[in-house]
A = this chain, B = another copy of it.
Amino acid sequence: MTKTAPFQVPDAVALLRRTPAALDALLRGLPDLWVRGTEGVDTWSAYDIVAHLIYTDHESWLPRFRHILEHGEQVPFQPFDRGGHKAGLRGQSLDQLLDEFSQTRAQSLAALEALRLSPTDLERCGLHPRLGSISLGSVLAAWPVHDLNHIHQISRVMARQYAEPVGPWTSFMGVLNCDAHGA
């Protein structure tokens, strides 16, 4: 592992700003094989994952930053419903979700900027219902990693649609041997 640099908000924002366009370039117009295929019952397709990313922007990140600034560790975060995006889906196409993710993320980053977080704010701690005390800086650092976590998942879910055609080459493809590690 290389030494990690100190956390800087602009580094996080630079990545957060690019995720919607990266997923748009990868997914828009692809055959359903790739974007609707899952890893089995009760697992997610690329389509589901984009819906989840929109949902978490609305329900998780900004609300938690505001919660820490308002309540500190006095009131734990509201529990987050990992599958909560399903209730909001109303038959949108993937293209509609990609448009919505782009707009939602731009709004999220504008709202983040409006918070004008100081170094002291980043050190303030909140109370996660399962993880315990966590600083605002760590929650903010987790946001781009959450994007990367789901890009990791999308690449795996898509690759698995070709597990059969790839045949003996499977042994060389780490992505086909990924056990998901919880996502």
Residues on A lying within 8 angstroms of B by beta carbon are: 1-2, 4-5, 7, 10-12, 14-15, 18-19, 21-27, 29-31, 33-34, 37-40, 128, 131-132, 134-135, 137-139, 141-142, 144-146, 148-149, 151-153, 155-156, 158-169, 171-178, 180-183
What residue in chain B is nearest A19 (Cβ atoms)?
A: B26
| Bound-state Cα–Cα, A91 to B174, Å | 29
Residues of B within 8 A of A134 (CB): 167-169
| Bound-state Cα–Cα, A25 to B25, Å | 7
Q: Which of B25, B144, B181 contacts A162 (CB 8 A)?
A: B144
What residue in chain B is nearest A171 (Cβ atoms)?
A: B131
